[in-house]
Structure 1
Amino acid sequence: MATGFSRLAPLQLTGMTVRVYESETTGLRAMLLETGEPLCSLHVVIGTESDTSEWTHKDDGLPHTLEHAIFLGSELYPYKGVLDKLANRCLADGTNAWTATDHTCYTMQSAGHEGCLNLLSIYADHILYPTLSDECFLTEVHHVTGDGENKGVVYCEMQGRENTSASLVDGKVLELLYPNGGYSAETGGKMANLRSLTNEQVRRYHRENYRPDNVMVILSGTASEAEFLRELEKVEERIQAKGYTRGSSGFDRPWSHPVPPMSPAGTIGVLSAGLPKEGQPVVVEFPSEEESTGVVSLGWRGPAYHEHATWAQLSLLWSYLTDSAIAPLSKALVEVESPLCSRVSPADEVFSEGYHQVWFRDAKCDTIDKLPTAFFDVISEVLQNFDLDRMHVVIRRRRRKVLEALERSPSRAAISHVIEHFLYGPRGVPPAEEMATLASGIDKLPHFAAAERLSAEEWVAVLKRFVVDRPCVAVVGRPSAAQAKAIDAAVKERQAATCAAMGAEGLAEAARKLQEAVAFNEREIPAHFLNAVPVPSYASIQSIPVLTIRGGKHLDVAPNSGVGVPPDVASSILAALRESRAALPPHVAPSFAPFWTEWAHVDTAFVTVAIAIDTASLSAEQRLLLPLYLDTAFKLPCELEDGTLLPKDDFVSGLQADTVRYGCELGLLRASLDQAVSFNLQLELGAEGEGFALALQWLRRALYLTRPSATYLKMAVQRHLAGVPAAMRNGRGIASVLNAALELDTLKSNRVSSHPVRQQHFLNKLLSQLGTSDGAAQVIAQLADLRTALLVASNMNVFVATDLTKLSHPFETLAAALLPPAAASALPLPEASAPLSRLCEGHILSGKEGQAAVVALSAIETNFLCVSAPGLGPYSEDHAALLVAVEHLTALEGDFWVKLRGAGLTYSYFVRPSTDTGRISFGLFKCTDLIGAYTAARKIIVDYASGASTITELQLEGAKSTVAYTIISSTSTRLSAAATAWEAAFEGKGVDYGRWLLSAMDEVSVADVLHAIKRYIVPIFDASSNLSASCPPNKLDTVCQGLESLLGLGVRKLHEEELQSFFGTGQEEPVAPPAVSVTTTSAFAFSKQFKCECPKCQPADAPSL
């Protein structure tokens, strides 16, 4: 054990052992969470308080700018990018960080613990002793371009966030709750502040806050105490070598001073304590040409940090009020014929004195001002009629959720509570007291047990104390077309003023300084830095044992499944399932024959049951009904088979009482394969496996026995319509669905048909129909037809993941649940079952090429781009090489990171091969200069294709390591491992696809990667690709002209009010783009310049690019 660290008595908690250490010399604190997870997580936390002083303003964004600057080099590793390049060699997906209101956290996750341990001391050197060079500040934080525009990575990020409805409303809530002090700081930085921020301020903030006694190192996973302390000692030795000792900085612990009071009564936006509330909400405008819906948030000051039991009670109360269709607030404000909003959702932050709030999303602007009063009317009713039985249901369900989260990922379940304890937990107290406080923060189960003993009167007292008898802040966010125009005009005026003030010489000097800064940042890193850590072997990484058994009438173990499961256990389970299948009664077996089942045996205390349903046979009209059908599947009255009517509220209440989670959505368990719909439930399995039968009972009711009514359908339609404006303000979502509309057969695509913009016309039609009895009957009949079309046995694949040794009579139970009621099925049944084979979007590609569309959205200030080109299938000989190529290009500190993000052109980007569609996509996210970023990305690819750039063996190792992490992490939990095997089958992959891919990747060479770039990535930038983008209105002409010039094809120019005509009503194809007078480029003309000459491409019958 490292002698410089004192050790507190370890905690034994559900799912983990917690060990805490503190340096007696430097004050550095550390924690080891022994969880046994295959993924190891490293978190380095710094308490960061941002307040106004004589040298800074709390909205300057100093915590956030430092979060970025830390990665740009350290005293011992003084090169930008060395940290992430080393992380890429550690079986990790690089490094990451976040800036919260009260802390900054630097993270890393690796497959196995060797990678995290190898990088710990190097990571710590960057955090504690960064270079903070002026060149890095210029590119990473803020600079003025030669055209007079404001850019920089941090600036770009905040430009995409500052004027969103959520950011503006939440900022005003915090400003009213915490008018003084750092809890209302915009720690990301407001754009006006970032424009005047200096690097000297950043350096000073680092000196005052990034002190060893204000740092906590947290490691979780499989590392031993000895291994952790050995690496921690290296960090301690470095700190001591710098001469730092505990308390020598002279600065107080962040957040150690009393929290100033909230805004006083009489302030606009503050509602008085007690009922009725006095005062008026404050209105905040956000930019949007669509002015029909807004957002409302109410907030209160909450308990102190150490009141863990009270925080648990408050969280449970908000679940009671909002968690389902029968929760009081949802029932009164959402699930009504004239809803005031589409969603009600709570939120909170546990500060030294925290806050809690509730959000009302998609609130109709003509009634938005009624929401605060309506909220307190509901609260008044709850005070008079508190339902203790329902609260017990809420508590027990929360307990199940916590247990499932601890089983799935103990470190993720614990990390926020560990950070809160570091920031606000007691110091200078006996060790037993400190550890007791830590245990109370992490382990919620005792608090739930105590909460279940509270009486209705005691719950009412909690509600009064924290919601009724405290002042409340109320903020109404209203959309404003005028605000959108004003922001647009302000950007143009600012650029013009900058150009005038700087003059031609000043702008040229700014461009020169930027160019020099980029060159400085990109200077070559000496090789000895880049191989400072070894690449761990992934052969020793623990995997989750999963046994997959699948089939119809005949069941068998899936090939190469069951690694890690004892052979005798596997044989016993297979025999039991076959015996149960053979035991089906003669009158049941023929009807059950078409069902294909998949059984996954995992070591779990829960059972997950899911049904995948093929939608290929649906008509265009039926496909448009899918969102409504799925939304209401678990929220309708139910007629049981004995004729008993289960009202909607009882149906939902029963589900809440029995389940961990339930749902029905497009795609499967992990939101993959949108051409399927799925129903799924998760329950506690129980000692005798009783959860399996209970899950199937609820599944049967949702599939077959619910009874739609005009009233409930109208509520759902209005809720969906209310979500359309928010979808129109989502630049990334619009660009993505535009691309899908170009790529796919829109009449067959679930993804396109279900998008709110495509749905809008159809939903208005439904709403009109539901207003009359004849129309309502027609809609209900259409839903019945849709259910009949979907629930055909040969369209349905069943998935069960649990401890299969605990199930009794599994097939008898399954058949009883899935066979339709006698009156519901008259269709002839196939004689044999088969796995579904049409769930991939590759089956519905439109075959269109060279299509481009750009839409101007008033609510966004940055650009979003999505481009698609031909890709490949899962077992292509080039697939592993393509994955390595993509990782090399897009990795942290890879080419795209340095030359797109590092140059301030875009905040983020992606290149994504899809085996679902057989296509490859390229995208830009929060992009300040779309044409500049696109051009820079294309040049990167051209340089590789032409031979101007190449890949070193060291870079190849790093890219392979990160791809290996991605493959391993996709199956790092029990359910993800089981679900991956199930979902893989629909794409033609084996259950061991990950292992096959790792093996194939081992053989990938530099030549293979360069071949993949030429063959599959170069065509992304060809005129044959399909391209979509969203941009601010003032950028529309520039973007379209730039793309037309680059690609030589016509670009359809759209304003947001034209999106409906682009998408059509859903029963016909979108309107074709008008002819554009642009010189066209033949398909693949660009990519043919870089034809691959490698041996793979030499045969005469090889496809030509």
Structure 2
Amino acid sequence: MAATNFKLVYDVVSNGKVPVSMYKSTDTNLTVFIANIEGPLVNGYFCLATEAHDDDGLPHTLEHLVFLGSEDYPYKGVLDLLANRCLASGTNAWTDTDHTCYTVTTAGCEGFLQLLPIYVDHILNPTLKESGYVTEVHHVNGEGEDAGVVYCEMQARENTGESLTHLSMLRAMYPGHCGYKSETGGIMANLRESTSHKKVCDYHKQFYRPENLCLIITGAIKAEDVFRALQPVEEKLKKRASPPFTRPWQSPVPSLPDSQERVVPYPTDDEEYGMVTVAWRGFLAKDQYKYEALSILLDYLSDSAISPLQRDFVEIEDPYCSKVYQFIIENSETCFGFSFGNVDKKRLHDIAPKLKELLKKIADGEEKIDMDRIANLIHRRVLDALNTIEGDVHDSVAYMIIGQFLYGDTKEDCEVRLNPIDSRRRLKSEPESFWLNMLQSLTQNKPWVVVVGDPSSKLMETMGEEEKGRVEAQRKELGTTGLEERRVKLEQATEENEVEPPESMLMAVPVPSTESIHFHPLTPSSNLPGRAGAANPRFPVAEVPYKFQLDDMSTHFARMLALLDTSSLPLELKYHLPLFTESLMESPVLRDGEVIPHERVIAELEKDTLYTDSGLGIPPGCFQCGDFPHFLVTEVKVEEEKYEQGVKWLRDVLYGTQFTADRLKIIANRMIGDISSLKRSGSRIVRTLLHTLVFTKECNFNVASMLRQLTFLTQLVTKLESDPEKVIADMNKIRDLLLQPPNMCIHLSCDTKKLAANGSPVAPWKTFLSGATSLGSGDGTTTPKMTDFVLSLESSPHKKFIVGVGDVESAYFLQVVPCISSYHHEDLPALKVLVQYLTQCEGPMWSQIRGLGFAYHYSIYVRPDLGLLYLLLAKSAHVADAYRVGQKIVQEYLSGENEFSEVELESARSSLIFEIIEEEKTIWDTAQESVLCYLRGVEHEYNKEMVKKVPKVTVEDMKSVGKKYLAPLFDPSVTRSAACVHPTKVEEVTTDFKKYVLC
């Protein structure tokens, strides 16, 4: 390695697989971690420890302003435009209570190294202009309304039940002077009245320093290349004198002297269900062994239908709630607890006493800890860590390193933190007394915090009226002159922010070649006519007498999917499908003449599998289906040693499940409770509404709709009381129809070489499907096509929906128009590039919709499987304005009023190439794409071919496809639309949209 001011501090290996090295600059104290990970992507996580003691949201507001230009690159958006050229899709960041992290992912290391010094310059030397603060954080517009990107983001979540109860828990858990109880995102009142541009600048001086910055880089990249890229940053930093630095989070955390119980009303129009959080103080974050143990203990208590909490609170005829989940918050002094969701309002105050009684029963030994189940959970955690190495390894390693940066000191701390597998294997030898002592020491006779989230429709109405009154009072106070001043101030700020960087600055960063980027190797084969693929002598799929698809790849696991075509089911049976899928893994099973009770089934699945799931579409969903929802998908994933057990389990749950009235009733009641929280989600509601406008009633998008299922399941619970035999007969009939050989296809992803070492991997499948003797006809593509479920415009009884929901403070909007219906259509590459051009980070829509604070999120996307083009606006403070601006942008580009730029086209093509490559960033992502290739009717090389087509798209191509496909997206005669807003804004939004000829 060439001479450098970065010196190696230590090397460790994470989970026996990933080499990690820590370096420190002798000149600036800048820290660099490099994790060597094979694959097509390189990731950067640039982390700073940040601390706040108020609700002004300074960490969050500063995070946003960093992206608006730097000393060397003083233009808003230039960082994202350059990132797009570097085979990335813009940049991103998040703000947590104890740190702020900036991220970027590139295809290959060449673009990453080009962008690295530019990104670090933005972090350490941002321009922080007041004009950026005005548009990005908060402003009052010429109508007297509050807006801004940060304001819009916080408006979408501040007054949700989950956010209010969580913040209340933190306030109680960390009393006194302690940053852990602050809302680092910013509270709207503070953003309006207290937060200021000067405070943000001062905050940057305090925390954004090289000795407080940790650059975490994961991927196939050389350390010497990283240090070479950072050299100009280092030289610049050395010339500056900085005041002494005090590391954040050094003050002792005040103790929790007494238990706290709080009731937090939250606005909603559904008062039937509330929520409860119960929490305690935990261990120090440095004690990772105890942290791992606590996590497993909490899983034991709450993670499945046989866990004590779910057993006593959910899995009963008259449930207290529909879900319980555990959490640990890794502060220097951690806290942990349980959240109870969709709690029957009449029982909100019964949760904590019942929980206290149950935990005491276990801690006192009255209810024995099931050590076999503890061992199974530990083994699953080990497998999960090994699976992560093959899957989400970049994020997993980076998050562990962030914890080390914040709370670790030594190499030994890092080795423990980065090797959770070692800790988990050690935990297997801990006796029952270890787990009992932990439960006793943390929960018995210890102060706790109980927060009851109480749903209130009255509060919803009051808050809505108060907000309208506040805005009206603000208008009056400003008066005509003041409003004009605000309009001018915003206009001037926008004008200053929108100065474009010179083309020479963008062109100075060349677009890297994609030639050196390697996709994960996967060899597909199948017995489908026309889709045979490569012959695999270790797994001759032709010997399987039903549809079978194989992915042969390098892995220690085997994933098997059963895809069952539901399209031939009668509609009255289809409505049972969500309940059917939820019941498969949680019901008794008939095996070898013996009925195995559901508790044992769940326990044995925990023991024998890494992961199981069942639902509609890819990936499987319940009330929100995945792609191709007419397929019911059941999934089992196992370690390679348990391959044959995995096949047996898949067959057992499909063929052997015994539907019983008591289990069906319990599961149905739980699902009804789950719908309660879904009805409070603006994004879920708007998608559900649009589905009713676009798809036939037979389509599973509508069959599984939470609104239809609420009615159906409520009636079914009653029917289970009066006529349980009929319900059970219907469930069995569904199974009989779905398991007919023409309806079944198996997709297996595994390493055939490893499996073949222990016998024939094809043998268990030859007798898997009862009654299958030969493959039959068909080419293996989906029949019917998804486009068969799309209503024609003439058949759609309604074209536009708007609904008011009390839990939704900002607006959501979704619109759709007919479009390309084949993945092989010659116009598809150009249409994708055009959409990318308009929507890319710092592209036209980013700067004018998000940048001006109209909506926090927007997107346009094409779905050839559905033959539809979508427009989405989400978390929008001014949804009609966001729509108007989007419409204007498209019209001006298509009319020629705005000219397409070759430089921005280059950025669009590069960022689109990255997004295509990212679809296969891990071997398991590649396997998922393989499943979709069959369903989409495309070749396995499809993404690689698309990467080659994208660079050939020209401006003329974009103009041509824009007029054909994008112009209709804003034509009210051919679009269908759904909007979800607060009830107080339904009339206002409807009126505003009529101005734009939408309604």
Smaller-chain TM-score bracket: over 0.9
Question: What residue in structure 2 maps to residue 985 of structure 1?
Answer: 934
Q: Partners in 1 of 2:748 and 2:445 — Cα distance?
A: 48
Q: Partners in 1 of 2:39 and 2:936 — Cα distance?
A: 28
Amino acid in the other structure paired with 2:36: E
Deviation at 1:329, TM superposition (A): 0.9
Pairing partner for 2:488 from 512, 517, 534? 512
Residue 260 (structure 1) aligned with residue 254 (structure 2): yes
Pairing partner for 1:123 from 96, 119, 122? 119
Pairing partner for 1:169 from 165, 168, 172? 165
SS in 1 for 2:32: strand
Deviation at 1:839, TM superposition (A): 6.2
Question: What residue in structure 1 maps to residue 563 of structure 2?
Answer: 612
Amino acid in the other structure paired with 1:861: E
Question: What residue in structure 1 maps to residue 33 of structure 2?
Answer: 31
Structure 1: runs of 5+ lacking an equivalent: 52-57, 272-280, 427-433, 559-569, 583-591, 1050-1105
TM-score by length of structure 2 reads 0.96
Q: Partners in 1 of 2:476 and 2:792 — Cα distance?
A: 50
Question: What residue in structure 2 maps to residue 1013 of structure 1?
Answer: 962
Pairing partner for 1:780 from 728, 731, 739? 728
Deviation at 1:834, TM superposition (A): 4.2
Deviates more, 1:751-760 or 1:396-405: 751-760
Contact 1:90 1:534 in 2 (8 A): yes
SS in 2 for 1:361: strand
Matching of residues 134-213 of structure 1 within 5 Å: 134-180=130-176, 181-196=178-193, 197-213=195-211
Structure 2: runs of 5+ lacking an equivalent: 621-625
Contact 1:840 1:987 in 2 (8 A): no
Matching of residues 831-850 of structure 1 within 5 Å: 831-832=776-777, 834-838=779-783, 840-848=785-793
Q: How many pairs were matched up?
A: 979
Q: Partners in 1 of 2:91 and 2:858 — Cα distance?
A: 16
Question: What residue in structure 1 maps to residue 339 of structure 2?
Answer: 359
SS in 2 for 1:45: strand
Question: What residue in structure 1 maps to residue 538 of structure 2?
Answer: 576
Deviation at 1:955, TM superposition (A): 0.9
Residue 287 (structure 1) aligned with residue 267 (structure 2): yes
Residue 958 (structure 1) aligned with residue 956 (structure 2): no
Deviation at 1:147, TM superposition (A): 1.2
User: What whole-Å deviation, never above 9, does each CA across 1:974-1009 have from its counterpart, x for those lacking one?
Assistant: 121122122111111111110121122122101111
SS in 2 for 1:738: helix
Pairing partner for 1:46 from 48, 66, 69? 48
Matching of residues 671-820 of structure 1 within 5 Å: 671-686=626-641, 691-745=642-696, 747-772=697-722, 775-805=723-753, 806-807=755-756, 808-819=759-770
SS in 1 for 2:89: strand
Q: Partners in 1 of 2:632 and 2:3 — Cα distance?
A: 55
Q: Partners in 2 of 1:409 and 1:725 — Cα distance?
A: 31
Percent identity, aligned pairs only, is 32
Question: What residue in structure 2 maps to residue 1054 of structure 1?
Answer: none
Contact 2:526 2:542 in 1 (8 A): no
SS in 2 for 1:290: coil
SS in 2 for 1:600: strand
Residue 405 (structure 1) aligned with residue 354 (structure 2): no
Q: Partners in 2 of 1:575 and 1:27 — Cα distance?
A: 56
TM-score by length of structure 1 reads 0.87
Deviation at 1:1045, TM superposition (A): 3.4
Residue 854 (structure 1) aligned with residue 771 (structure 2): no
Question: What residue in structure 2 maps to residue 233 of structure 1?
Answer: 231
Question: What residue in structure 1 maps to residue 306 of structure 2?
Answer: 326
SS in 2 for 1:138: helix
User: What whole-Å deviation, never above 9, does each CA across 1:44-74 have from its counterpart, x for those lacking one?
Assistant: 10110001xxxxxx10000000010000011
Q: Partners in 1 of 2:444 and 2:960 — Cα distance?
A: 66
Amino acid in the other structure paired with 1:493: G
Q: Partners in 2 of 1:1004 and 1:695 — Cα distance?
A: 46
Amino acid in the other structure paired with 1:575: P
Contact 1:638 1:647 in 2 (8 A): yes
Deviates more, 1:1035-1044 or 1:446-455: 1035-1044
Q: Partners in 2 of 1:1012 and 1:487 — Cα distance?
A: 46
Residue 600 (structure 1) aligned with residue 596 (structure 2): no
Question: What residue in structure 2 maps to residue 1059 of structure 1?
Answer: none
Amino acid in the other structure paired with 1:673: F
- Residues 664 and 520 (structure 1 numbering): CA distance in 2 closer, same or farther, change over 3 Å? same
Deviation at 1:521, TM superposition (A): 0.7
Q: Partners in 2 of 1:153 and 1:556 — Cα distance?
A: 48
User: What whole-Å deviation, never above 9, does each CA across 1:726-756 have from its counterpart, x for those lacking one?
Assistant: 12211111111111111110x2121222122
Question: What residue in structure 2 maps to residue 639 of structure 1?
Answer: 590
SS in 2 for 1:40: strand
Question: What residue in structure 1 maps to residue 521 of structure 2?
Answer: 545
Amino acid in the other structure paired with 1:151: A
Deviation at 1:633, TM superposition (A): 0.4
Contact 2:566 2:632 in 1 (8 A): yes
Deviation at 1:830, TM superposition (A): 7.2
Matching of residues 404-553 of structure 1 within 5 Å: 404-426=387-409, 434-552=410-528
Q: Partners in 2 of 1:350 and 1:59 — Cα distance?
A: 20
Q: Partners in 2 of 1:613 and 1:695 — Cα distance?
A: 18
Deviation at 1:251, TM superposition (A): 3.4
Q: Partners in 1 of 2:714 and 2:504 — Cα distance?
A: 65
Question: What residue in structure 1 maps to residue 353 of structure 2?
Answer: 373
Deviates more, 1:615-624 or 1:41-50: 615-624
- Residues 555 and 1001 (structure 1 numbering): CA distance in 2 closer, same or farther, change over 3 Å? closer
User: What whole-Å deviation, never above 9, does each CA across 1:292-314 have from its counterpart, x for those lacking one?
Assistant: 01111111111112101000000
- Residues 213 and 831 (structure 1 numbering): CA distance in 2 closer, same or farther, change over 3 Å? closer
User: What whole-Å deviation, never above 9, does each CA across 1:893-952 have from its counterpart, x for those lacking one?
Assistant: 111111111111111101010022010000100111111111110000010111011212
Contact 1:397 1:657 in 2 (8 A): yes
Question: What residue in structure 2 maps to residue 588 of structure 1?
Answer: none
Amino acid in the other structure paired with 1:31: F
Contact 2:10 2:23 in 1 (8 A): no
Amino acid in the other structure paired with 1:356: F
Question: What residue in structure 2 maps to residue 11 of structure 1?
Answer: 12
Question: What residue in structure 1 maps to residue 990 of structure 2?
Answer: 1040
User: What whole-Å deviation, never above 9, does each CA across 1:228-271 have from its counterpart, x for those lacking one?
Assistant: 12112232122113x14xxx422310011211122x32xxxx25
Deviation at 1:1043, TM superposition (A): 2.3
SS in 1 for 2:802: strand
Amino acid in the other structure paired with 1:721: I
Amino acid in the other structure paired with 2:224: A
Question: What residue in structure 1 maps to residue 85 of structure 2?
Answer: 89
Question: What residue in structure 2 maps to residue 1025 of structure 1?
Answer: 975
Q: How big is the alpha-carbon RMSD for the aligned residues of Structure 1 and Structure 2? A: 1.6
Q: Partners in 2 of 1:60 and 1:556 — Cα distance?
A: 58
SS in 1 for 2:721: coil
Residue 973 (structure 1) aligned with residue 922 (structure 2): yes
Question: What residue in structure 1 maps to residue 617 of structure 2?
Answer: 667
Question: What residue in structure 2 maps to residue 1085 of structure 1?
Answer: none
Residue 251 (structure 1) aligned with residue 257 (structure 2): no
Q: Partners in 1 of 2:423 and 2:264 — Cα distance?
A: 38
Amino acid in the other structure paired with 2:464: D
SS in 2 for 1:748: coil
Deviation at 1:1041, TM superposition (A): 2.1
Contact 1:795 1:836 in 2 (8 A): no
Deviation at 1:692, TM superposition (A): 2.2
Question: What residue in structure 1 maps to residue 812 of structure 2?
Answer: 864
